[in-house]
Structure 1
Amino acid sequence: MKVLVTGVKGQLGYDVVRHLDARGIENKGVDIEDFDLTDEAAVRGYIGDYKPTCIVHCAAYTAVDRAESERETAFAVNVTGTKNVALAAKDVGAEMMYISTDYVFDGFSKETPWEADDPKNPQNVYGKTKYEGELAVQKLLDDYYIVRICWVFGKNGNNFVKTMLRLAETHDEISVVNDQHGVPTYTYDVARLLCDIIESHKYGVYQAPNEGDTTWYDFAVEIFRQAGKGTKVNPVSTKEYAKMNPTAAARPKNSRLSRKTLIDAGFSRLPDYKDALARYLKEI
Protein backbone atom coordinates (compact mmCIF):
# COMPACT_ATOMS: atom_id res chain seq x y z
CA MET A 1 0.00 0.00 0.00
CA LYS A 2 1.21 3.48 -0.91
CA VAL A 3 -0.90 6.33 0.45
CA LEU A 4 -1.11 10.00 -0.48
CA VAL A 5 -2.72 12.21 2.18
CA THR A 6 -3.93 15.68 1.17
CA GLY A 7 -4.25 18.48 3.71
CA VAL A 8 -1.39 17.21 5.87
CA LYS A 9 -1.15 20.56 7.68
CA GLY A 10 -4.77 20.28 8.84
CA GLN A 11 -6.06 18.55 11.96
CA LEU A 12 -7.07 15.25 10.37
CA GLY A 13 -4.43 14.93 7.67
CA TYR A 14 -1.70 15.39 10.28
CA ASP A 15 -3.03 12.51 12.38
CA VAL A 16 -3.62 10.21 9.40
CA VAL A 17 0.06 10.50 8.51
CA ARG A 18 1.01 9.83 12.15
CA HIS A 19 -0.94 6.57 12.13
CA LEU A 20 0.32 5.49 8.71
CA ASP A 21 3.90 6.07 9.87
CA ALA A 22 3.25 4.08 13.05
CA ARG A 23 1.96 1.16 10.96
CA GLY A 24 4.94 1.25 8.63
CA ILE A 25 2.74 2.09 5.62
CA GLU A 26 4.48 4.05 2.87
CA ASN A 27 2.88 7.48 2.60
CA LYS A 28 3.33 11.10 1.65
CA GLY A 29 1.47 14.05 3.13
CA VAL A 30 0.89 17.02 0.83
CA ASP A 31 -0.58 20.50 1.13
CA ILE A 32 -1.05 23.68 -0.88
CA GLU A 33 2.72 24.11 -1.34
CA ASP A 34 2.85 20.85 -3.29
CA PHE A 35 0.01 21.53 -5.71
CA ASP A 36 -3.14 23.62 -6.08
CA LEU A 37 -6.23 21.40 -5.83
CA THR A 38 -8.10 23.63 -8.28
CA ASP A 39 -5.45 23.13 -11.00
CA GLU A 40 -6.42 19.88 -12.73
CA ALA A 41 -3.14 19.51 -14.62
CA ALA A 42 -1.09 20.07 -11.48
CA VAL A 43 -3.13 17.57 -9.45
CA ARG A 44 -3.08 14.87 -12.10
CA GLY A 45 0.60 15.49 -12.78
CA TYR A 46 1.69 15.23 -9.14
CA ILE A 47 -0.42 12.18 -8.39
CA GLY A 48 0.58 10.61 -11.69
CA ASP A 49 4.22 10.92 -10.70
CA TYR A 50 3.75 9.57 -7.16
CA LYS A 51 1.40 6.75 -8.21
CA PRO A 52 -0.31 6.03 -4.86
CA THR A 53 -2.56 3.00 -4.43
CA CYS A 54 -4.82 5.02 -2.10
CA ILE A 55 -5.56 8.73 -1.68
CA VAL A 56 -6.96 10.02 1.62
CA HIS A 57 -8.43 13.39 0.70
CA CYS A 58 -8.53 15.49 3.89
CA ALA A 59 -7.84 18.87 2.27
CA ALA A 60 -10.86 21.17 2.12
CA TYR A 61 -12.14 24.71 2.43
CA THR A 62 -13.59 24.62 5.95
CA ALA A 63 -14.29 28.28 6.83
CA VAL A 64 -18.04 27.76 7.24
CA ASP A 65 -19.09 31.39 7.67
CA ARG A 66 -16.62 32.84 5.19
CA ALA A 67 -17.85 30.36 2.56
CA GLU A 68 -21.10 32.32 2.38
CA SER A 69 -19.23 35.30 0.91
CA GLU A 70 -16.45 33.29 -0.75
CA ARG A 71 -18.76 30.89 -2.53
CA GLU A 72 -16.63 30.54 -5.67
CA THR A 73 -13.51 29.71 -3.69
CA ALA A 74 -15.34 27.17 -1.54
CA PHE A 75 -16.76 25.44 -4.62
CA ALA A 76 -13.41 25.56 -6.40
CA VAL A 77 -11.62 23.78 -3.55
CA ASN A 78 -14.31 21.41 -2.27
CA VAL A 79 -15.98 20.48 -5.56
CA THR A 80 -13.56 21.14 -8.43
CA GLY A 81 -10.59 20.18 -6.26
CA THR A 82 -12.24 16.92 -5.22
CA LYS A 83 -13.11 16.13 -8.85
CA ASN A 84 -9.49 16.71 -9.80
CA VAL A 85 -8.25 14.34 -7.10
CA ALA A 86 -10.83 11.72 -8.14
CA LEU A 87 -9.75 12.01 -11.79
CA ALA A 88 -6.14 11.60 -10.75
CA ALA A 89 -7.05 8.57 -8.64
CA LYS A 90 -8.77 7.09 -11.69
CA ASP A 91 -5.68 7.77 -13.81
CA VAL A 92 -3.43 5.70 -11.54
CA GLY A 93 -6.02 3.12 -10.44
CA ALA A 94 -6.00 4.29 -6.82
CA GLU A 95 -8.71 4.00 -4.20
CA MET A 96 -9.95 7.30 -2.78
CA MET A 97 -11.18 8.23 0.68
CA TYR A 98 -13.16 11.47 0.86
CA ILE A 99 -13.71 13.16 4.21
CA SER A 100 -17.17 14.72 4.50
CA THR A 101 -19.39 16.25 7.15
CA ASP A 102 -22.73 16.21 8.96
CA TYR A 103 -23.48 19.49 7.13
CA VAL A 104 -24.64 17.47 4.10
CA PHE A 105 -27.90 16.94 6.05
CA ASP A 106 -30.30 19.76 6.88
CA GLY A 107 -29.69 19.47 10.61
CA PHE A 108 -33.27 20.27 11.55
CA SER A 109 -35.82 17.82 10.18
CA LYS A 110 -35.16 14.92 12.59
CA GLU A 111 -34.01 14.54 16.19
CA THR A 112 -32.47 11.07 15.93
CA PRO A 113 -29.00 10.45 14.45
CA TRP A 114 -28.67 10.88 10.70
CA GLU A 115 -28.37 7.60 8.84
CA ALA A 116 -25.79 7.42 6.05
CA ASP A 117 -28.47 7.20 3.35
CA ASP A 118 -30.86 9.83 4.75
CA PRO A 119 -31.88 12.54 2.26
CA LYS A 120 -29.24 15.24 1.80
CA ASN A 121 -30.30 18.85 2.13
CA PRO A 122 -27.36 21.09 3.10
CA GLN A 123 -28.36 24.46 4.49
CA ASN A 124 -25.21 26.48 3.86
CA VAL A 125 -22.57 26.89 1.17
CA TYR A 126 -19.99 24.77 2.98
CA GLY A 127 -22.43 21.87 3.30
CA LYS A 128 -23.43 22.16 -0.36
CA THR A 129 -19.82 22.05 -1.52
CA LYS A 130 -19.02 19.02 0.62
CA TYR A 131 -22.08 17.16 -0.66
CA GLU A 132 -21.21 17.94 -4.27
CA GLY A 133 -17.74 16.60 -3.50
CA GLU A 134 -19.34 13.35 -2.33
CA LEU A 135 -21.33 13.13 -5.56
CA ALA A 136 -18.23 13.73 -7.67
CA VAL A 137 -16.36 10.88 -6.00
CA GLN A 138 -19.31 8.52 -6.37
CA LYS A 139 -19.74 9.43 -10.04
CA LEU A 140 -16.11 9.11 -11.06
CA LEU A 141 -14.92 6.13 -9.02
CA ASP A 142 -15.95 2.61 -8.04
CA ASP A 143 -13.34 2.09 -5.32
CA TYR A 144 -14.10 4.83 -2.82
CA TYR A 145 -14.78 5.47 0.85
CA ILE A 146 -16.78 8.45 2.06
CA VAL A 147 -16.40 9.17 5.77
CA ARG A 148 -18.50 11.84 7.49
CA ILE A 149 -17.35 13.36 10.76
CA CYS A 150 -18.50 16.25 12.96
CA TRP A 151 -17.33 18.64 15.71
CA VAL A 152 -13.68 17.88 15.04
CA PHE A 153 -10.76 18.71 17.33
CA GLY A 154 -7.10 17.81 16.89
CA LYS A 155 -3.54 18.91 17.57
CA ASN A 156 -3.08 20.94 14.38
CA GLY A 157 -5.17 23.99 13.53
CA ASN A 158 -7.98 25.74 15.39
CA ASN A 159 -11.00 24.10 17.01
CA PHE A 160 -13.63 24.59 19.71
CA VAL A 161 -11.47 23.17 22.50
CA LYS A 162 -8.61 25.56 21.78
CA THR A 163 -11.06 28.46 21.52
CA MET A 164 -12.58 27.66 24.92
CA LEU A 165 -9.16 27.37 26.56
CA ARG A 166 -8.12 30.69 25.02
CA LEU A 167 -11.30 32.41 26.22
CA ALA A 168 -10.76 31.02 29.71
CA GLU A 169 -7.55 33.04 29.94
CA THR A 170 -9.39 36.36 29.50
CA HIS A 171 -13.03 35.75 30.51
CA ASP A 172 -14.64 34.94 33.85
CA GLU A 173 -17.79 33.82 32.04
CA ILE A 174 -18.94 33.10 28.50
CA SER A 175 -22.18 32.18 26.72
CA VAL A 176 -22.42 28.99 24.64
CA VAL A 177 -25.40 27.57 22.71
CA ASN A 178 -27.23 24.70 24.42
CA ASP A 179 -29.67 23.62 21.68
CA GLN A 180 -27.26 22.27 19.06
CA HIS A 181 -26.53 18.55 19.55
CA GLY A 182 -23.64 16.48 18.26
CA VAL A 183 -20.56 14.51 19.20
CA PRO A 184 -17.07 16.02 19.60
CA THR A 185 -14.67 13.94 17.52
CA TYR A 186 -10.92 13.62 18.10
CA THR A 187 -8.90 13.48 14.88
CA TYR A 188 -6.39 11.06 16.43
CA ASP A 189 -9.18 8.52 17.01
CA VAL A 190 -10.75 9.07 13.59
CA ALA A 191 -7.40 8.81 11.83
CA ARG A 192 -6.79 5.39 13.36
CA LEU A 193 -10.18 4.26 12.10
CA LEU A 194 -9.51 5.67 8.63
CA CYS A 195 -6.36 3.58 8.43
CA ASP A 196 -8.33 0.50 9.50
CA ILE A 197 -10.87 1.20 6.76
CA ILE A 198 -8.38 1.63 3.92
CA GLU A 199 -6.52 -1.51 5.01
CA SER A 200 -9.82 -3.44 4.89
CA HIS A 201 -10.73 -2.34 1.32
CA LYS A 202 -14.40 -2.31 2.42
CA TYR A 203 -15.69 0.45 0.19
CA GLY A 204 -18.75 2.48 1.07
CA VAL A 205 -20.14 5.43 3.03
CA TYR A 206 -19.32 5.62 6.73
CA GLN A 207 -20.00 8.00 9.60
CA ALA A 208 -17.43 8.11 12.36
CA PRO A 209 -17.95 10.38 15.36
CA ASN A 210 -16.66 9.50 18.81
CA GLU A 211 -19.19 7.99 21.23
CA GLY A 212 -21.53 10.16 23.26
CA ASP A 213 -24.02 12.95 22.69
CA THR A 214 -23.76 16.49 23.96
CA THR A 215 -24.36 20.17 23.22
CA TRP A 216 -21.79 22.89 22.66
CA TYR A 217 -22.69 24.23 26.12
CA ASP A 218 -22.15 20.90 27.87
CA PHE A 219 -18.96 20.33 25.89
CA ALA A 220 -17.62 23.70 27.04
CA VAL A 221 -18.47 22.83 30.66
CA GLU A 222 -16.63 19.50 30.27
CA ILE A 223 -13.58 21.20 28.74
CA PHE A 224 -13.29 23.62 31.66
CA ARG A 225 -13.89 20.82 34.17
CA GLN A 226 -11.14 18.63 32.76
CA ALA A 227 -8.77 21.55 32.23
CA GLY A 228 -9.34 22.84 35.77
CA LYS A 229 -10.66 26.22 34.61
CA GLY A 230 -13.11 28.27 36.70
CA THR A 231 -14.79 30.06 33.80
CA LYS A 232 -18.57 30.14 34.15
CA VAL A 233 -20.56 28.96 31.11
CA ASN A 234 -24.00 30.42 30.50
CA PRO A 235 -26.39 28.37 28.31
CA VAL A 236 -28.14 30.31 25.53
CA SER A 237 -30.31 29.34 22.57
CA THR A 238 -29.06 29.58 19.00
CA LYS A 239 -31.47 32.47 18.48
CA GLU A 240 -30.16 34.33 21.52
CA TYR A 241 -26.55 33.71 20.53
CA ALA A 242 -27.18 35.00 17.00
CA LYS A 243 -28.31 38.33 18.43
CA MET A 244 -25.03 38.67 20.31
CA ASN A 245 -22.75 37.12 17.68
CA PRO A 246 -24.37 36.94 14.23
CA THR A 247 -23.01 34.19 11.97
CA ALA A 248 -23.31 34.16 8.18
CA ALA A 249 -23.96 30.43 7.81
CA ALA A 250 -26.86 28.43 9.23
CA ARG A 251 -25.80 25.95 11.92
CA PRO A 252 -27.48 22.52 12.34
CA LYS A 253 -29.37 21.82 15.55
CA ASN A 254 -28.83 18.09 15.08
CA SER A 255 -25.34 16.96 14.08
CA ARG A 256 -25.69 13.42 15.45
CA LEU A 257 -24.40 10.81 13.01
CA SER A 258 -25.49 7.17 13.05
CA ARG A 259 -22.63 4.66 13.11
CA LYS A 260 -24.72 1.83 11.59
CA THR A 261 -22.73 1.36 8.37
CA LEU A 262 -19.52 1.39 10.40
CA ILE A 263 -20.76 -1.28 12.80
CA ASP A 264 -22.33 -3.37 10.00
CA ALA A 265 -18.92 -3.47 8.29
CA GLY A 266 -17.30 -4.80 11.45
CA PHE A 267 -15.36 -1.71 12.54
CA SER A 268 -15.07 -0.77 16.20
CA ARG A 269 -16.78 2.29 17.64
CA LEU A 270 -14.54 5.16 18.67
CA PRO A 271 -13.99 5.94 22.37
CA ASP A 272 -16.31 8.24 24.32
CA TYR A 273 -15.65 11.90 23.59
CA LYS A 274 -14.89 12.63 27.27
CA ASP A 275 -12.11 10.05 27.18
CA ALA A 276 -10.90 11.53 23.89
CA LEU A 277 -10.92 15.04 25.37
CA ALA A 278 -8.82 13.89 28.34
CA ARG A 279 -6.19 12.42 26.02
CA TYR A 280 -6.26 15.49 23.80
CA LEU A 281 -5.73 17.91 26.69
CA LYS A 282 -2.66 15.90 27.71
CA GLU A 283 -1.38 16.03 24.13
CA ILE A 284 -1.63 19.80 23.82
Structure 2
Amino acid sequence: MKKILLTGGNGFFCTRFALRYKNTYEILSASSSMLDITNEENVTEIFESFKPDYVIHAAAKASTEFCDKNPELAYKINVTGALNVAKACKKSNSKMIFLSTEQVFNGNVDAGPYTEDDTPSPDTMYGKNKLEAEGLLKEVLDELWVVRFTWLLGMPERNCSMSPNILWGTLTDIMLGKKTKATPNEYRGLTYVHEVIDQFPMIFEIPYGIYHLGSHNDLSRYDICSLIFKEVGLEHRMNELLEKETEKYKDHHRDVRLCTDKIKSYGLEFSDSKDGIKKCLKEFKIKL
Protein backbone atom coordinates (compact mmCIF):
# COMPACT_ATOMS: atom_id res chain seq x y z
CA MET A 1 0.00 0.00 0.00
CA LYS A 2 1.46 3.35 -1.05
CA LYS A 3 1.96 6.00 1.62
CA ILE A 4 0.64 9.54 1.24
CA LEU A 5 1.49 12.43 3.53
CA LEU A 6 -1.00 15.29 3.53
CA THR A 7 0.15 18.64 4.85
CA GLY A 8 -2.64 20.91 5.97
CA GLY A 9 -4.40 17.73 7.05
CA ASN A 10 -7.23 19.52 8.83
CA GLY A 11 -8.21 21.52 5.75
CA PHE A 12 -11.19 21.43 3.40
CA PHE A 13 -9.48 19.33 0.72
CA CYS A 14 -7.37 17.04 2.89
CA THR A 15 -10.09 15.93 5.32
CA ARG A 16 -12.21 14.80 2.38
CA PHE A 17 -9.28 13.20 0.59
CA ALA A 18 -8.30 11.22 3.70
CA LEU A 19 -11.82 9.85 4.15
CA ARG A 20 -12.16 8.96 0.47
CA TYR A 21 -8.90 7.00 0.29
CA LYS A 22 -8.45 5.67 3.82
CA ASN A 23 -8.67 2.08 2.53
CA THR A 24 -6.65 2.70 -0.64
CA TYR A 25 -3.51 4.31 0.75
CA GLU A 26 -1.75 4.53 4.07
CA ILE A 27 -2.39 8.18 4.82
CA LEU A 28 -0.80 10.48 7.36
CA SER A 29 -3.01 13.55 7.48
CA ALA A 30 -0.74 15.99 9.29
CA SER A 31 -2.33 19.03 10.92
CA SER A 32 -0.26 22.07 11.87
CA SER A 33 -0.10 20.83 15.47
CA MET A 34 1.58 17.63 14.25
CA LEU A 35 3.67 19.12 11.46
CA ASP A 36 5.01 22.66 11.61
CA ILE A 37 6.15 23.19 8.04
CA THR A 38 8.11 26.30 9.06
CA ASN A 39 10.29 24.11 11.30
CA GLU A 40 12.71 22.24 9.03
CA GLU A 41 13.78 19.87 11.81
CA ASN A 42 10.18 18.91 12.58
CA VAL A 43 9.49 18.33 8.89
CA THR A 44 12.55 16.08 8.58
CA GLU A 45 11.51 14.04 11.62
CA ILE A 46 8.01 13.39 10.26
CA PHE A 47 9.38 12.35 6.87
CA GLU A 48 12.00 10.04 8.35
CA SER A 49 9.35 8.40 10.52
CA PHE A 50 6.59 7.99 7.91
CA LYS A 51 8.63 7.64 4.70
CA PRO A 52 5.91 8.78 2.27
CA ASP A 53 5.78 7.75 -1.38
CA TYR A 54 3.73 10.86 -2.22
CA VAL A 55 3.30 14.19 -0.50
CA ILE A 56 0.31 16.42 -1.22
CA HIS A 57 1.33 19.82 0.07
CA ALA A 58 -1.89 21.67 0.88
CA ALA A 59 -0.75 23.59 3.97
CA ALA A 60 -0.91 27.34 3.39
CA LYS A 61 -2.25 30.64 4.60
CA ALA A 62 -4.74 31.24 1.83
CA SER A 63 -6.60 34.29 3.15
CA THR A 64 -5.77 37.20 0.86
CA GLU A 65 -6.50 39.70 3.62
CA PHE A 66 -4.32 37.88 6.16
CA CYS A 67 -1.39 37.58 3.76
CA ASP A 68 -1.56 41.24 2.75
CA LYS A 69 -1.62 42.32 6.41
CA ASN A 70 1.02 39.81 7.59
CA PRO A 71 3.47 39.49 4.68
CA GLU A 72 6.40 38.11 6.69
CA LEU A 73 4.37 35.37 8.36
CA ALA A 74 2.60 34.58 5.08
CA TYR A 75 5.97 34.19 3.35
CA LYS A 76 7.28 31.98 6.14
CA ILE A 77 4.33 29.61 5.78
CA ASN A 78 3.61 29.76 2.05
CA VAL A 79 7.14 29.89 0.67
CA THR A 80 9.66 28.81 3.32
CA GLY A 81 7.30 26.09 4.57
CA ALA A 82 6.83 24.73 1.07
CA LEU A 83 10.59 24.69 0.56
CA ASN A 84 11.10 22.76 3.79
CA VAL A 85 8.64 20.13 2.56
CA ALA A 86 10.35 19.95 -0.85
CA LYS A 87 13.78 19.47 0.74
CA ALA A 88 12.41 16.65 2.88
CA CYS A 89 10.87 15.08 -0.23
CA LYS A 90 14.29 15.23 -1.88
CA LYS A 91 15.95 13.44 1.06
CA SER A 92 13.27 10.75 1.28
CA ASN A 93 12.74 10.26 -2.48
CA SER A 94 9.09 11.26 -2.11
CA LYS A 95 7.12 12.64 -5.04
CA MET A 96 5.44 15.98 -4.35
CA ILE A 97 2.19 17.55 -5.48
CA PHE A 98 2.16 21.27 -4.68
CA LEU A 99 -1.32 22.74 -4.54
CA SER A 100 -1.20 26.21 -6.02
CA THR A 101 -3.93 28.62 -7.03
CA GLU A 102 -5.71 30.56 -9.75
CA GLN A 103 -4.71 33.66 -7.79
CA VAL A 104 -1.31 33.74 -9.49
CA PHE A 105 -3.27 35.45 -12.30
CA ASN A 106 -4.95 38.04 -10.07
CA GLY A 107 -3.09 40.97 -11.60
CA ASN A 108 -3.21 39.93 -15.24
CA VAL A 109 -4.97 42.48 -17.44
CA ASP A 110 -5.94 40.15 -20.28
CA ALA A 111 -9.08 38.08 -19.86
CA GLY A 112 -8.90 34.37 -19.01
CA PRO A 113 -9.08 31.47 -19.24
CA TYR A 114 -5.32 31.24 -18.72
CA THR A 115 -3.18 28.34 -19.88
CA GLU A 116 -0.08 26.98 -18.18
CA ASP A 117 2.00 28.85 -20.78
CA ASP A 118 0.55 32.26 -19.88
CA THR A 119 2.74 34.43 -17.66
CA PRO A 120 1.17 35.01 -14.23
CA SER A 121 1.14 38.49 -12.71
CA PRO A 122 -0.21 38.26 -9.16
CA ASP A 123 -1.14 41.44 -7.32
CA THR A 124 -1.86 39.93 -3.89
CA MET A 125 0.66 38.65 -1.37
CA TYR A 126 -0.91 35.19 -1.43
CA GLY A 127 -0.66 34.97 -5.21
CA LYS A 128 2.92 36.23 -5.11
CA ASN A 129 3.83 33.69 -2.43
CA LYS A 130 2.40 30.80 -4.40
CA LEU A 131 4.08 31.82 -7.64
CA GLU A 132 7.46 32.25 -5.96
CA ALA A 133 7.09 28.89 -4.24
CA GLU A 134 6.30 27.23 -7.57
CA GLY A 135 9.60 28.46 -9.01
CA LEU A 136 11.71 27.62 -5.98
CA LEU A 137 10.31 24.11 -5.65
CA LYS A 138 11.25 23.31 -9.24
CA GLU A 139 14.86 24.15 -8.34
CA VAL A 140 14.78 21.54 -5.54
CA LEU A 141 12.73 18.72 -7.06
CA ASP A 142 12.47 17.02 -10.41
CA GLU A 143 9.61 14.78 -9.26
CA LEU A 144 7.10 17.59 -8.79
CA TRP A 145 3.57 18.33 -9.93
CA VAL A 146 2.36 21.91 -9.50
CA VAL A 147 -1.44 21.89 -9.56
CA ARG A 148 -3.22 25.23 -9.71
CA PHE A 149 -6.74 24.86 -8.33
CA THR A 150 -9.80 26.85 -9.20
CA TRP A 151 -12.04 27.79 -6.25
CA LEU A 152 -13.38 24.58 -4.69
CA LEU A 153 -16.95 24.36 -3.49
CA GLY A 154 -18.84 21.90 -1.36
CA MET A 155 -21.11 21.30 1.61
CA PRO A 156 -20.44 20.56 5.28
CA GLU A 157 -19.70 16.87 5.91
CA ARG A 158 -19.19 14.78 8.99
CA ASN A 159 -15.58 14.86 10.25
CA CYS A 160 -14.58 17.28 7.49
CA SER A 161 -13.49 20.90 7.67
CA MET A 162 -15.20 23.71 5.83
CA SER A 163 -13.76 26.71 4.06
CA PRO A 164 -15.49 29.71 2.50
CA ASN A 165 -17.01 28.85 -0.86
CA ILE A 166 -19.69 30.42 -3.02
CA LEU A 167 -22.24 27.62 -2.70
CA TRP A 168 -22.24 27.21 1.07
CA GLY A 169 -21.83 30.97 1.57
CA THR A 170 -24.92 31.72 -0.51
CA LEU A 171 -26.97 29.01 1.20
CA THR A 172 -25.88 30.25 4.62
CA ASP A 173 -26.95 33.79 3.79
CA ILE A 174 -30.33 32.48 2.62
CA MET A 175 -30.89 30.51 5.83
CA LEU A 176 -29.95 33.54 7.93
CA GLY A 177 -32.16 35.85 5.89
CA LYS A 178 -29.08 37.88 4.99
CA LYS A 179 -28.70 39.60 1.65
CA THR A 180 -26.00 38.15 -0.61
CA LYS A 181 -23.97 40.75 -2.48
CA ALA A 182 -22.43 39.50 -5.72
CA THR A 183 -20.65 41.30 -8.51
CA PRO A 184 -21.36 40.73 -12.19
CA ASN A 185 -17.75 41.80 -12.89
CA GLU A 186 -15.91 38.71 -11.61
CA TYR A 187 -15.29 35.43 -13.43
CA ARG A 188 -13.55 32.40 -11.96
CA GLY A 189 -13.73 28.65 -12.14
CA LEU A 190 -15.81 27.00 -9.42
CA THR A 191 -15.23 23.28 -8.94
CA TYR A 192 -17.11 20.70 -6.89
CA VAL A 193 -14.50 19.36 -4.50
CA HIS A 194 -15.46 15.70 -4.93
CA GLU A 195 -14.93 15.86 -8.69
CA VAL A 196 -11.32 16.79 -7.85
CA ILE A 197 -10.86 14.20 -5.12
CA ASP A 198 -12.39 11.31 -7.07
CA GLN A 199 -9.88 11.79 -9.90
CA PHE A 200 -6.89 13.01 -7.94
CA PRO A 201 -4.82 9.78 -7.94
CA MET A 202 -4.70 9.99 -11.74
CA ILE A 203 -2.21 12.84 -11.26
CA PHE A 204 0.32 10.32 -9.90
CA GLU A 205 0.45 8.77 -13.38
CA ILE A 206 0.90 11.88 -15.56
CA PRO A 207 4.18 13.65 -16.43
CA TYR A 208 5.63 16.09 -13.92
CA GLY A 209 4.89 19.75 -14.56
CA ILE A 210 2.39 22.55 -14.03
CA TYR A 211 -1.32 21.80 -14.47
CA HIS A 212 -4.51 23.82 -14.21
CA LEU A 213 -7.25 21.79 -12.58
CA GLY A 214 -10.99 22.29 -12.26
CA SER A 215 -14.12 23.49 -13.94
CA HIS A 216 -14.60 26.04 -16.68
CA ASN A 217 -17.15 28.77 -16.05
CA ASP A 218 -18.78 31.31 -18.35
CA LEU A 219 -20.98 32.82 -15.64
CA SER A 220 -20.23 35.84 -13.46
CA ARG A 221 -20.30 35.60 -9.69
CA TYR A 222 -23.75 37.23 -9.70
CA ASP A 223 -25.01 34.75 -12.29
CA ILE A 224 -23.74 31.84 -10.20
CA CYS A 225 -25.55 33.13 -7.11
CA SER A 226 -28.71 33.53 -9.20
CA LEU A 227 -28.32 29.93 -10.35
CA ILE A 228 -28.05 28.72 -6.74
CA PHE A 229 -31.26 30.53 -5.80
CA LYS A 230 -33.06 28.93 -8.73
CA GLU A 231 -31.74 25.44 -8.07
CA VAL A 232 -32.89 25.42 -4.44
CA GLY A 233 -36.34 26.71 -5.38
CA LEU A 234 -35.99 30.29 -4.16
CA GLU A 235 -36.00 32.22 -7.40
CA HIS A 236 -38.99 34.15 -6.05
CA ARG A 237 -36.83 35.56 -3.23
CA MET A 238 -33.97 36.82 -5.36
CA ASN A 239 -35.16 40.44 -5.32
CA GLU A 240 -35.24 40.27 -1.53
CA LEU A 241 -32.03 38.37 -0.81
CA LEU A 242 -29.65 38.90 -3.76
CA GLU A 243 -28.05 42.24 -4.57
CA LYS A 244 -26.01 43.01 -7.67
CA GLU A 245 -22.76 44.68 -6.54
CA THR A 246 -22.00 46.69 -9.67
CA GLU A 247 -19.22 48.91 -8.31
CA LYS A 248 -16.85 46.07 -7.42
CA TYR A 249 -14.31 45.45 -10.22
CA LYS A 250 -16.21 47.98 -12.35
CA ASP A 251 -13.11 49.56 -13.87
CA HIS A 252 -11.35 46.28 -14.55
CA HIS A 253 -13.23 43.00 -14.44
CA ARG A 254 -11.61 40.27 -12.37
CA ASP A 255 -11.05 37.18 -14.48
CA VAL A 256 -8.92 34.36 -13.04
CA ARG A 257 -10.43 31.49 -14.98
CA LEU A 258 -8.09 28.64 -15.87
CA CYS A 259 -7.89 26.69 -19.10
CA THR A 260 -7.75 23.02 -18.08
CA ASP A 261 -7.23 21.47 -21.52
CA LYS A 262 -3.76 20.18 -20.61
CA ILE A 263 -4.87 18.03 -17.68
CA LYS A 264 -8.00 16.95 -19.57
CA SER A 265 -5.72 15.47 -22.21
CA TYR A 266 -4.61 12.97 -19.55
CA GLY A 267 -8.17 11.86 -18.82
CA LEU A 268 -9.28 14.15 -15.97
CA GLU A 269 -12.72 15.55 -16.78
CA PHE A 270 -14.70 18.17 -14.91
CA SER A 271 -18.26 19.44 -15.21
CA ASP A 272 -18.55 23.12 -15.98
CA SER A 273 -19.24 25.18 -12.87
CA LYS A 274 -23.02 25.40 -13.19
CA ASP A 275 -23.32 21.63 -13.63
CA GLY A 276 -20.91 21.00 -10.75
CA ILE A 277 -23.11 23.12 -8.48
CA LYS A 278 -26.21 21.26 -9.64
CA LYS A 279 -24.46 17.93 -9.01
CA CYS A 280 -23.46 18.94 -5.47
CA LEU A 281 -26.95 20.15 -4.61
CA LYS A 282 -28.45 16.93 -5.97
CA GLU A 283 -26.04 14.68 -4.05
CA PHE A 284 -26.76 16.50 -0.80
CA LYS A 285 -30.50 16.69 -1.62
CA ILE A 286 -30.66 20.44 -0.96
CA LYS A 287 -34.00 22.10 -1.57
CA LEU A 288 -35.15 25.09 0.48
Q: Does 1:92 align with 2:92?
A: yes
Normalising by structure 1, we get a TM-score of 0.88
Matched AA of 1:174: T
Instruction: Choose which of 218, 229, 234 in structure 1 pairs with 2:243.
Output: 234
Q: Residues 142-161 of structure 1: matches in 2 within 5 Å? A: 142-155=142-155, 156-158=161-163, 159-161=165-167
> Residue 221 of structure 1 corresponds to which residue in structure 2?
226
Higher relative contact order (CA 8 A, sep 6+): 1
Matched AA of 2:43: V
Structure 1 unaligned blocks of 5 or more: 244-250
Matched AA of 2:232: A
Between 217-226 and 267-276, the greater mean CA deviation after superposition: 267-276
Displacement after TM superposition at 1:242 (Å): 7.7
Matched AA of 2:105: F
Displacement after TM superposition at 1:268 (Å): 2.6
> Residue 191 of structure 1 corresponds to which residue in structure 2?
197
Displacement after TM superposition at 1:252 (Å): 7.2
Q: Does 1:134 align with 2:134?
A: yes
Q: Residues 72-83 of structure 1: matches in 2 within 5 Å? A: 72-83=72-83
Name the % identity: 26
Normalising by structure 2, we get a TM-score of 0.87
> Residue 8 of structure 1 corresponds to which residue in structure 2?
9
- Go from structure 1 to structure 2 and tell me whether the alpha carbon gap of 1:38 and 1:82 turns closer, same or farther (over 3 Å shift): same
Counterpart-to-counterpart distance in 2, 1:145 and 1:165: 34
Structural RMSD (CA): 2.1
Counterpart-to-counterpart distance in 2, 1:27 and 1:41: 21
Displacement after TM superposition at 1:38 (Å): 0.7
Structure 2 unaligned blocks of 5 or more: 156-160
Counterpart-to-counterpart distance in 2, 1:172 and 1:63: 23
CA deviations 1:195-251 (Å, max 9, x no partner) are 1111x15211110112432211111111222223334323233xx2489xxxxxxx9
Q: Does 1:179 align with 2:185?
A: yes
Checking the alignment, whether the CA contact within 8 Å between 2:108 and 2:120 is kept in structure 1 is no
Counterpart-to-counterpart distance in 2, 1:16 and 1:174: 30
CA deviations 1:36-81 (Å, max 9, x no partner) are 1111110111112100011011111111112111111211111011
Checking the alignment, whether the CA contact within 8 Å between 1:7 and 1:29 is kept in structure 2 is yes
- Go from structure 1 to structure 2 and tell me whether the alpha carbon gap of 1:258 and 1:212 turns closer, same or farther (over 3 Å shift): same
Q: Does 1:278 align with 2:278?
A: yes
Aligned length: 272
